[in-house]
Chain A
Amino acid sequence: MSRPFVLPDLGEGLVEAEIIRVLVKEGEVVREDAPLLEVETDKAQVEIPSPMSGRVEKIHVAPHQTVRVGEVLVTFAEADAGPQAPAAPTPAAVSQREGPVPATPATRRLARELGVDLRTVAGRGPGGRITDDDVRASAAQRASSAIPAKRAQPASGGPEREVAAKPLARVGLEPPPLPKFEQWGPVERQPLSHLRRVIAERMALSAALVPHVTHFDRADITELDALIRRDLEPARERGVTLTLTSFLLKTAALALRDHPTFNASLDAEAGELILKRYYHLGIAVATERGLIVPVLRDVDEKPVLELARELATLAQRVRDGKAGLEDLRGGTFTITNLGALGGTGAIPIINYPEVAILGVARAREEAVVRDGQIVTRLMLPLSLTFDHRVADGADGARFAADIVRRLEHPDQLLLEL
């Protein structure tokens, strides 16, 4: 009797994953929990373990293929096939390991102290026993890993599953132990969601790895605002809501073409700057579950109206938890617009391994001196945060000035389309 094995629910509303490697061959006999495939979701590489022991009858997927949750990955021929054999396994059963974790009580305590999940550690002691050395090696490997998202973790669980607390991947520094907060009053511990964990790890990585420097500027968007207001109704008739963000995307992409170091990634290992000849811009979207950055492709080539349309549908997909893998990666530069929430400015953390991020606060009418006269102008505060390893303050100032110039002269912006 054959048993199909489908891509389990990956949690956090993710609906698809890309196959990175297939680790078994057709005809191979695998044990329960043995690694079957490696897949990549938006942020993490995940190893999918075999839900059962049996012979792999057919593999339905190939590397680089994108599969959706529920799609059949592998069909098993059961060794002890019988009429009582159940149908497709539930996703929750995927990561269940047989029996207890093989480690001594002292080793288990060490693992808790170092924040190592023993279920992810391969034991090298007799009979697969996990030793203190295995635990320390696992902790050290995680600490030195430049890309914490590569950390393999068991994929499992339906949406109703309780989130298990797992330690965050470390980025070099060993944080000192926390004080006993209980001594001052009661506390409650909440496990982090998958998304919160990914955000936390990536922000910590970026903040620890990248020397951030921020340049502030302000753009007079009185004319741009007038233009948006004027075109708002005609655009709406074409089913599009024109927003400042779509103009920000366009101006940033055009400025990036003139300042390619800000559309790059630093390969520290190779000692090279990787300049990207495409302009895919991420836009930070706040969702109920946390921050997600969907990516718009080839922003430099698309008209503003098209960008506004794409942005609206993409943001909706993200908020509905229906964003696919391709919606979330490949970005070269990020914009975060906090204007809707007020504030006078913010210094965002770079979306590593990008080089820069543009922070935008709320535009306000201000008294500005123009030609000796005090006039009321609509001023937009901008902050450009960038990787000081890649660019210097003067470079940042020039790049920011280019964005400001374009925002202040929307007529010229149209010529560049």
Chain B
Amino acid sequence: MVMGDLGRDVDVVVVGGGPGGYSAAFRCAELGLETVVVDAEQRLGGACLYEGCIPSKALLHVAAVLGEAERAREFGVDFGTPRISLDPLRKWKAERVIGKLARGLASVARSKGVEVIGGRAVFEGSRELRVGGDAPQTLRFTHGVIATGSRPSPLPGIAIDSDRVMDSTAALALPDVPERLLVVGGGYIGLELGQVYAALGSRVVLIEMLDGLLPGVDRDLVQPLARRCDKLFAEVRVGTRLTALRAAGETIEASYGDVTATFDRVLVAVGRRAATEGLGLQRTGVRPDARGVIAVDEHGRTADPYLYAVGDVTGEPMLAHRAMRQGKVVAEVIAGRPAAFDNVVVPAVVFTDPEVAWCGLTEGEAQRAGRAVKIARFSWAASGRATTLGRADGLTKLVADAESGRVLGVGIVGPGAGELIAEGALAVEAALTAEDVAATIHTHPTLAETLMEAAESLLK
């Protein structure tokens, strides 16, 4: 403690202002606890708002508009060749999207009485936090919530110091539209940003180390996306490992498989890593594992009785909506309510064209577990709405318990899958049966009908 620094006592300190952190803080404040958020950047929203979900979706919206304009030629509408001006695009993303949402979060914090302090936070013990920055201070707290999130993983074994090799944060800043872009990693980040740059005009080569895009996701769902990527990208190579990157003037020379090729930029999207280093956790009872992940129980408690953790620091799946639910649960637990993170599903979405979304049990998992299930596949070729959109390549898939008919998992690929999956998540979370879904009237003509149709096919 700094001399003369008397410190300050609060009920709850939340370290990290991302979705998990601000959700916990807002709920704590609602429940009458004096709550302070310490954020290195003194802002709420975290990676999600500033360098993740939100900016990538803004850019994907731009890509979607470009894609729609191109498709419009099919029905006789030609907008001509689009001209893209990066400055207005960056300004729109920064001010009209991120800025607007950031101001919204800040005003919610003010209205709930949550104070946001800027500065690096270091635990001095299980109940004390030192905050660096412009106005160093010490906070003593009754409950601490660790919500420091994650950051992009670097390439293992390949070191290169060049701003032409970008992580997702750098790529979202949209420094330029490179003529040739290499995307390393066929997970959701690589696919989303690869499609953004492809739509803006880059010639994109994507390589993935494992033998398929979106490893672990149902192949039925990945196939339409893989076909689209084959069309959008110059090349997609799976089962291919990057072996070397060399800076060569204004370009980067990359070696992968048996190829060495030159690119203007490289995007490395090989996953994210829990950000728990430098927090002083060694002075608490919290011991992150080798990957930096903090283990928590269903109440969000760490091994240290004073400290909780939410969001990406608690490991996979590193998704903002999971963090937000965890944050609310932890706040209620701190306030003495009988809350638990007992969620059955954490839905996942890849916001590509087409979108891929899923939740709960997959067909493959059921097979591996030897679980008796019924599978429904409803092709969007039979959907009126999909046909009017010119998108018959979608698929809605349902996994239900063979005996009870309970919906155990849902997978969707097609435009709007990210919105449609909400109904699937509700069905699984609430233990609805296929009959419940089939007997609910769905508006016509919509893509949501495909869920009803899929459920109906299980009743026969």
Contact = CB atoms under 8 A, between A and B. Distances in A.
Q: Indicate the member of B340, B361, B406 with the most A CB atoms within 10 Å.
A: B406
Nearest to B406: A127
A128 B406 contact: yes
Interface residues of A, number: 27
Contacts of B343: 105
Contacts of A112: 338-340
B285 to A, nearest CB: 11
Interface stretch (B95-103, B425-433, B449-457): B425-433
Interface in A171-201: 178-183, 185-188
A109 B435 contact: no
B344 interface: yes
A112 B340 CA distance: 9
B306 A186 contact: yes
B335 interface: yes
Given A113-B338, A180-B336, A185-B142, A129 B305 contact: no
B435 A99 contact: no
Contacts of A98: 371
A180 B404 contact: no
Interface residues of B, number: 29
A187 B306 CA distance: 8
Contact of B305 (A113, A125, A187): A187
A64 to B, nearest CB: 34
A99 B365 CA distance: 12
- Chain B at the A interface: mostly helix, strand, loop or mixed? loop
Interface in B324-342: 334-336, 338-340, 342
A113 B344 CA distance: 19
Nearest to A80: B370
A183 B127 CA distance: 14
* Residue picked from A100, A179, A180, A186, most chain B C-beta under 10 Å: A100
A104 interface: yes
B39 to A, nearest CB: 24
B408 interface: yes
A297 interface: no
Contacts of A188: 305
B397 interface: no
Given A104-B429, A127-B431, A128-B406, A109 B142 contact: no
B143 interface: yes
B405 interface: yes
B431 A104 contact: yes
A99 B408 contact: yes
Given A186-B305, A188-B305, A102 B406 contact: yes
A108 B429 CA distance: 11
B401 interface: yes
B436 interface: yes
A129 B431 contact: yes
Contacts of B11: 183
A127 B361 CA distance: 17
A104 B339 contact: no
Nearest to B366: A99
A28 B291 CA distance: 49
Contacts of B361: 99
Interface string B214-241: 0000000000000000000000000000
Interface in B319-372: 334-336, 338-340, 342-344, 361, 371
Interface in A71-109: 98-100, 102-105, 108-109
A127 B371 contact: no
B335 to A, nearest CB: 7
Contacts of B334: 182
Interface of B: 11, 127, 142-143, 305-306, 334-336, 338-340, 342-344, 361, 371, 401, 404-406, 408, 429-433, 435-436
Given A104-B430, A127-B431, 5 more contacts: A126-B433, A126-B436, A127-B405, A129-B432, A180-B336
Q: Considering the complex of A and B, which 5 residue pairs feature the smallest CB-CB distances, nearest first?
A: A180-B336, A102-B431, A127-B404, A112-B338, A127-B433
26 contacts: A99-B371, A100-B344, A100-B431, A104-B429, A104-B430, A105-B342, A105-B343, A105-B429, A108-B340, A109-B339, A125-B431, A126-B436, A127-B431, A127-B433, A128-B404, A129-B431, A129-B432, A129-B433, A179-B336, A181-B336, A182-B143, A182-B334, A182-B336, A183-B142, A186-B127, A186-B306
